[in-house]
Amino acid sequence: MRNLLVFTLLAVFSLGALADHHGGDHDGKARHHKGMFKQADQNGDGAVSTEEHEQALEKMADKRRERFSKMDSDGNGSLTKEEAHAAKQEHRAKMKEKHQQKHN
């Protein structure tokens, strides 16, 4: 059972890394994925238990719900392509500004 859990976690993180591959800062993304495992391993024993995994999933779901609410600019509980595009553009602008501040 433990091997299945570890395999599942590795598969999820690998797919996330693969999906992010075209994003840019690959070293930062690798640190992010290592950080995700470290965050999920709440007791620091070098392994993620089923309970820790479930807690990490719930935390991720909460963050996604929050992100969805922010993107739903008219608050109607539905996300249009226009709202998603506007949120993406806003995120890009913030990241560009952050990048410029970092290099100035």
**Mean pLDDT across the chain:** 81
pTM exceeding 0.85: no
Q: Is there a single domain that holds both residue 63 and residue 95? A: no
Q: Is there a single domain that holds both residue 9 and residue 51? A: yes
Q: Is there a single domain that holds both residue 24 and residue 53? A: yes
Burial 6-16 (b: 16+ CB within 10 A, else e): eeebeeebeee
Q: Is there a single domain that holds both residue 103 and residue 53? A: no
Q: Is there a single domain that holds both residue 40 and residue 9? A: yes
Domain count for the chain, please give it: 2
Residue type (1 letter), 14: S
Q: Is there a single domain that holds both residue 18 and residue 43? A: yes
pLDDT digits (tens, 9 = 90+) for 23-44: 444 556 666 667 888 889 999 9
Q: Is there a single domain that holds both residue 60 and residue 97? A: no
CA atoms within 13 A on the CB side of 69: 6
- Asked whether the predicted pLDDT for residue 81 surpasses 70, the reply is yes
Q: Is there a single domain that holds both residue 13 and residue 52? A: yes
Q: In which domain, by residue range, is 47 found?
A: 2-71
